[in-house]
Structure 1
Amino acid sequence: MAHVVYRIVEHDGGWAYKAGETFSETFSSHDAAKAAAVRAAREQRVPDQTAAIEYETAEGRWITESADGHDRPETEVED
């Protein structure tokens, strides 16, 4: 199972949360960024319906596969 960590960081003159190398929008306070990270982490764990997805590889080939809507990652927020 995947594990996603949301980290609270200073960013662009304010605060943001970061998952991997991706930043959220900038918030004016540390507390606001943390609250947004907690919401995002909670929403990431919510199961959904199984669905067919399509995506293109770096080589330009299209792939179609089934995404299990119940295969949700574990999440945490690091302050």
Structure 2
Amino acid sequence: MVQITYRIVEHDGGWAYQLAGTYSETYPDHDAARAAAIAVSREQKVPDENTLIEYADASGNWITERADGHDRPEVDVEG
């Protein structure tokens, strides 16, 4: 199973969550960024539904792929 970790970091005059070098939008405070990361992490774990997912790779290119609902990652939020 894939393990992913969202990290809460200072970014662009505020706070963001980061995954594999890619930042979310900027939030005004740490708690708001953490709440957004937790919401995103919950969406990653929705079982039994096939769905399309979109994410940016390390080069900033957006990738769209079909995710099997039975193959969900383990997700953590740090910070």
Q: Give the TM-score range, shorter chain.
A: 0.7 to 0.9
Identical residues among aligned pairs (%):
62
DSSP-derived class of the 2:77 partner: strand
Can you give the 5+ residue segments of structure 2 that lack an aligned partner in the other structure? 52-65
Larger Rg: 1
**CA displacement 1:11-50 (0-9 Å, x = unmatched):** 0110000011111000000000000011111110112534
Q: SS at the partner of 2:76?
A: strand
Q: 1:32 — aligned with what?
A: 32
What letter corresponds to residue 9 of structure 1 in structure 2? V
Q: How many aligned residue pairs are there?
A: 66
Normalised by the length of structure 1, the TM-score is: 0.74
Matched, 1:10 2:18: no
**Structure 1 segments unaligned to the other structure (5+ residues):** 52-65
